[in-house]
Structure 1
Amino acid sequence: MLRLPRSLIVCHRTKSTHSVSSDEYQYMQRTRIPMLHFQASLPRLPIPKLDKTCERYLAAQKPLLIDEAYRKTKDNTDRFLTTDGPKLQQLLKQKDSKNKHTSYISEPWFDMYLRDRVPLPINYNPLLMMNHDPRPAYNDQLLRTTNLVISSLRFMKSLRSQLLEPEVFHLNPAKSDTHAFRTVTSLAPSLISTYVAYAFKAFPLDMSQYQGLFGATRIPETGKDRIYRNVKSRHLLVIRNGHIYSVTVLDQAGNIEQPATLLARFKHVLDDNVPIAENPIGLLTTENRDTWAKIRYHLSEIGNEKALREIDSALFCLCLDDGTINPEHPIPTIKDFLFGNGTNRWFDKSFSLIVSKDGTAGINFEHSWGDGVAVLRYFQEIYKETIAAPFVHPDTLQKDTSRSVDVIKRIEFNLDDRIKDAIIAAQNHHNSIIDSLDMNYLKYDGINKNICKKQRISPDSIMQLGFQLAFYKQHSKFVPTYESCSTAAFRHGRTETMRPCTVATKEFCEAIERKSNPLSSNELRAMMDKCSSLHGQLTKDAAMGQGFDRHLFGLRHMAETNDIPMPCLFQDPAYAAINHNILSTSTLSSPALLAGGFGPVVQDGYGIGYNIQDGFLGSVVTSYKSHRNGREFVDCLRSAYEDIAKVLNNSTIPSK
């Protein structure tokens, strides 16, 4: 689960009254606390105790296995704890002690992403969709694009000059998100500053992933991809109607071009009335990674190296789409933003900013370089600034004094029959995958964040309980469930898995569905509170690096890299089963977020992007049509929340 602190302070203005060549225009923030002030004193991601990991692993297996299978899994786990486990634990600790600059999970986790050969769309690249500007005139495609790009560049320049305020999670913002906090922590030496922040009950977060946001591309290579970064580029990759453009956005000195200039340049692209690209090269980024690697190598061989370098080095990708969103039926637009037809995307870029004809905007990002922390921070910063203090307005005049044809150029490729055939094959392959994918959306206003607060129960636990109950209603069983939890409170932390399917949730689901001898609302409420309490503890454990999934992943990696025969625990079918996550879930909490989504992580699973707002809860559910009935699951999910709402409304709120 990923929750970030408040959106950071930006200057407010209704019109750009200052000089756009000034530092006030060039930088979004000028932090009082140095951006990387806390980095040196961030604690290292702990390696959990082996016995605690085994205990947590068995607790997660308990609701999933019949008694006989559980006994076998417990025997395997107990044997691992006394035989292979300690040896692998020692090897993991030894490696960790030799790499104190990072975390024990960082290298193998990067490696896992970069070695996977499946296509990026659906399988890896997630989507964050942005709320509209409340002022209709500012949702004009050209206007919103220009404002989002300017704010993006201001964020980038603040980041690269280390002027962004450090990312800090404030447990109680009223007491710690203050002038006093900034003064005291900025005066503290870097080597102890994190611990000074802890005294305020504020938790600095790792910022090492932020460097991956701009000027980066995942380049396909056979066997394992690599990440390319360029800190000197001054242009964006812009895609419109399948045509690829390079648009210069920084001047020779690295300063952001004038708002009126950028407005004119993006208008030029939008007004370029060329037919839809006959051979949209971006489709190749939808392919299997080895397939794409071989095609890309051939592209270089036939004279396209310069074009590829222009794409790889771009600050980010800007996709200008022609679609519009229907707020009552948002699924078609969410699909377009998550994977689309592939013709107007370059999925390998670190992220793509997508803006549709009606101003609907979103971020589709490549996942190997980092997790949602950096992306969400960037996402909500640019949203807040463009809403509160945009740089271009409906009456802004376009003006581009540049006489160089190089500031806007269409990137042309030399294509032979092999490449043209590969584009057709990629399109057919991508179409077959997206045709097999189903997407459904639930918006339910019977439960929301305010109701949960009044009821003194965790909103996230309620949403996760709904997923368990919905699947039980649909299939009368319980399955492995993944909830992503950030470990960014540690140096080079990535994520940990929180396992929301527990014995407590299983007992609640069975009890509320039982037809004979039904329990009272107060009895069900007591069970629900037990679920919430356990959920909160598991979330806390995961955020503190005390889950079991990453630890077991690291131990298994030690066995593989040291030629040690695979221990019995990892050969147990139950281990493979719990890592086959039927319910893969992730939540993002941000006032900028309209919706978030991603594909199922297994063929017979559901991908559930969810959030709970002040007025409603929402879930975007993806599944493969031939394996799961997504529409039926969402119907069961609505029924589940209706049942949960009845319990909340008809029970006595427990005293605290």
Structure 2
Amino acid sequence: MRGILLQSPKKLCTQAVRSVTSTPQGTDYQYMQRSKLPTMYFQRSLPRLPIPTLDKTCERFLSAVQPILNADEFAATQKVIKEFHQGEGMDLHAKLKQNDLNNKHTSYISEPWFDMYLSDRAPLPLNYNPLLIMKHDTRPEYRSQLVRATNLVVSSLRFWNSLKVDLLEPEIFHLNAKKSDTPQFRQWMRIAPTAFATYVAYVFKAFPLDMSQYNRLFGTSRIPQMDKDLLVQNIDSKHIIVMRRGNLYAVDVLNQNGQIEQPSVILARLQAVLSLDNKRNAAEVPLGVLTTGSRNDWARTRQHLVKNISEKNGKLIENEVDKALFCLCLDSEEDPIYNDDNQIPLIKNFLAGEGKNRWFDKSVSLLVGADGTAAVNFEHSWGDGVAVLRYFNEIYKETLQRPFVSSATIPESLNNDHSVRSLNFDIDDKLRADVALASSKNSDVMETLNMDMLRYSHINKLSCKKYGVSPDSIMQLSFQLAYKLAFNSYVGTYESCSTAAFRHGRTETMRPCTIPTKNFCEAILKPTNSRPDSNELRAMIDKCSTLHGNLTKEAAMGQGFDRHLFALKHEAVKQNKTLPELYNTEAYRKINYNIISTSTLSSDALLAGSFGPVVQDGLGVGYSIQNAECGAIVSSYKNQRNGKHFVDCLGQAFSEIHKTLDASKK
């Protein structure tokens, strides 16, 4: 996933809340869930990610590039595609199919996709690490930074323990939850042979999803190395890393038997971190900012840090930081807090900010502001939005319905048992200079980052249902119209679609800029006296919506074209072959130069979030459509694509589309 959504704050649910302020006992405390079906019950029977036929991939590629090419470019592309299809493409496709047959335990995209992420030398913040901000807990007794951080840590550990012992509910997409998300369904599943369980679930219109990524949620770090990074994991870790004002602390959260420490103990240990940190200065040499740099720069500095300065540094980095279950970043009073009238400073701080109080290499980082606003920032190479969003939703829900500490909880008395360890590194002049340079470069990048946001109430899920159109298609159509209004052209547009219905599926690209969307934009922007009437425009919207739905279904079923062409290119590189001419065409360059990069996540737990543009002159469009409103947060770089102008035009696009739908309805 590259994406996020926007939601206005709503009243929190009024379900009964049980606050466990006494010491929890027994195994009930250790696990968030006790699923009747083992977590990985469906994994063996998940279908394999299909490789599309070369015919279909070539056909889909041509359809996708046609709206963004002129007539001469498109004619030239048709010729190249024909040659590719009849020649080198066939050879590469055959080799890809054979390689896939030889590796039935995984998917054809898994290896090249990992290579793509781990080989890219671009910094992680803005380029890869997305941000998800949680809705607030408005109850005063649970809102403070210390209390909310403790509850999130406890719930995170309960989620992790449940996953490790196969007690976490399997991830299933229920087409009709009333019929399949039931005890009866689970009872039937329990007697289904695991080799066929997925196909039995299909009978109930329930679709199990791949959960292979979940195991990398915790204990995982991306280690910078020259030219290609490495993912390392220690699932038996018993501590987390806590950061405050750039200082690092290791905090034990599991006991020697791997059991979660009592809530009052974890509360006391986090309180000890705050107490220790308040007695010292902010880090003079904040090592976390090194994780904001280019991967080769960071790799060189890390090598110096762990090998050249002292043996102690190597042990601290490898044993305490790399092996930590996750990172908890406690921001200070000097950092931005939530402001409903201006969310941008907080979003920018959580997305990347100064980088001094972050360790972007950890698989998951929990961020908690001084006012208790919480978020998740995650490294993207190990997994996608499905796993992170499930974790995000579960811990948010539990902290509302079953918080384990409150402002009334009395912290345990701490013994001098080294359960809270300040990580003090040896620093030399070179390391000091590298940190200063990384900080300066990150500040320069952040100085150029713009963010603009928009909320619009007349288009929402309920109105789309009334008009009989797909909410997502309306959002994507609005982006195309807004871009045409702002910049008078059509460009490569990216929408992420999960392929988690398949074993080791990752994502596929949906291409929302189509001939029907282009035709609609051209028609609605004609002078009033030559514009089609509202019924004709409505028919054009319906055509856009239908095609968008079909493209989304194809992508979700592994029948896009982007990943197939990407894998064929990877196959050519792997075999040291000259790249086919297709990969040098203007068409391939334009479709993969994603000036508009979009993504959304549907979740009642999400407040806001963002991701950076994927190209220098691009727009990162995180969007949402809810029952009451739709909205978007748009990131851009100064003196590049004008994000503010795009957002202004997006408001106009929403208005034009709403008026068209409303007029046709009447």
TM-score for the superposition, normalised by structure 1 = 0.97
2:11 paired residue number: none
Q: State the alpha-carbon separation in 1 of the partners of residues 245 and 467 from structure 2.
A: 50
Q: Paired residue for 2:88, among 62, 84, 101?
A: 84
Q: Does 1:643 align with 2:656?
A: yes
Single out whichever of 318-327 and 464-473 deviates more from structure 2: 318-327
Cα shift at 1:336: 0.4
2:327 paired residue number: 317
1:179 paired residue number: 183
Query: C-alpha deviations, 1:214-253, integer Å up to 9, x for none?
Result: 0110000001000010112111100001100001111111
Q: Aligned residues, how many?
A: 646
8 Å CA contact 2:23, 2:264 repeated in 1: no
Q: Paired residue for 1:53, among 49, 54, 57?
A: 57
**Within 5 Å, which residues of 2 pair with 1:277-288?**
277-288=283-294
Cα shift at 1:571: 1.8
8 Å CA contact 1:236, 1:314 repeated in 2: yes
Query: C-alpha deviations, 1:354-381, integer Å up to 9, x for none?
Result: 0001111100000010111110000000
Single out whichever of 38-47 and 605-614 deviates more from structure 2: 605-614
Cα shift at 1:479: 0.3
2:472 paired residue number: 460
8 Å CA contact 2:135, 2:605 repeated in 1: yes
1:329 paired residue number: 342
State the SS of the aligned residue for 2:601.
strand
Q: State the alpha-carbon separation in 2 of the partners of residues 107 and 18 from structure 1.
A: 48
Amino acid corresponding to residue 67 of structure 1 in structure 2 = A
2:315 paired residue number: 306
1:149 paired residue number: 153
Q: State the alpha-carbon separation in 2 of the partners of residues 293 and 46 from structure 1.
A: 36
Q: Paired residue for 1:137, among 122, 135, 141?
A: 141
Closer/same/farther in 2, CA of residues 294 and 91 from structure 1, 3 Å limit: same
State the SS of the aligned residue for 1:40.
helix
Q: Paired residue for 1:450, among 448, 462, 469?
A: 462
Q: State the alpha-carbon separation in 2 of the partners of residues 226 and 595 from structure 1.
A: 31
Q: State the alpha-carbon separation in 2 of the partners of residues 551 and 463 from structure 1.
A: 27
8 Å CA contact 2:396, 2:605 repeated in 1: yes
1:269 paired residue number: 273
8 Å CA contact 2:141, 2:408 repeated in 1: no
Q: Paired residue for 1:576, among 567, 572, 589?
A: 589
Amino acid corresponding to residue 306 of structure 1 in structure 2 = K
State the SS of the aligned residue for 2:649.
helix
Amino acid corresponding to residue 306 of structure 2 in structure 1 = S
Q: Paired residue for 1:260, among 261, 264, 284?
A: 264
**Within 5 Å, which residues of 2 pair with 1:194-593?**
194-272=198-276, 273=278, 274-301=280-307, 302-303=309-310, 304-309=313-318, 310-322=320-332, 323-404=336-417, 406-515=418-527, 516-593=529-606
Q: State the alpha-carbon separation in 1 of the partners of residues 368 and 385 from structure 2.
A: 20
State the SS of the aligned residue for 2:520.
helix
Q: Paired residue for 1:39, among 34, 40, 43?
A: 43
Amino acid corresponding to residue 315 of structure 2 in structure 1 = K
Single out whichever of 610-619 and 585-594 deviates more from structure 2: 610-619
TM-score for the superposition, normalised by structure 2 = 0.95
Cα shift at 1:553: 0.5
- Give the superposed CA RMSD: 1.5
State the SS of the aligned residue for 1:393.
coil
Q: Paired residue for 1:612, among 602, 621, 625?
A: 625
Closer/same/farther in 2, CA of residues 479 and 488 from structure 1, 3 Å limit: same
Q: Does 1:64 align with 2:68?
A: yes
Cα shift at 1:21: 3.1
1:8 paired residue number: none
8 Å CA contact 2:367, 2:374 repeated in 1: yes
Amino acid corresponding to residue 618 of structure 2 in structure 1 = G
Query: C-alpha deviations, 1:499-536, integer Å up to 9, x for none?
Result: 00000100111111111411222211111111111000
Q: State the alpha-carbon separation in 1 of the partners of residues 444 and 650 from structure 2.
A: 28
State the SS of the aligned residue for 1:62.
helix
Percent identity between the aligned chains? Answer: 56
Query: C-alpha deviations, 1:602-621, integer Å up to 9, x for none?
Result: 01110111111111112111
Amino acid corresponding to residue 611 of structure 2 in structure 1 = F
Q: State the alpha-carbon separation in 1 of the partners of residues 49 and 175 from structure 2.
A: 20
State the SS of the aligned residue for 2:299.
helix
8 Å CA contact 1:445, 1:615 repeated in 2: yes
8 Å CA contact 1:2, 1:373 repeated in 2: no
2:12 paired residue number: none
**Gap runs ≥5 in structure 2:** 5-14
Closer/same/farther in 2, CA of residues 368 and 48 from structure 1, 3 Å limit: same
Amino acid corresponding to residue 126 of structure 1 in structure 2 = P
Closer/same/farther in 2, CA of residues 536 and 3 from structure 1, 3 Å limit: farther
Q: State the alpha-carbon separation in 2 of the partners of residues 12 and 110 from structure 1.
A: 43
Cα shift at 1:563: 2.4
Query: C-alpha deviations, 1:19-56, integer Å up to 9, x for none?
Result: 51311111000101111110000000000011001110
Amino acid corresponding to residue 68 of structure 1 in structure 2 = D
Q: Which consecutive segments of 4 or more residues in structure 1 shift more than 6 A?
A: 1-4
Amino acid corresponding to residue 317 of structure 1 in structure 2 = C
**Gap runs ≥5 in structure 1:** 5-10
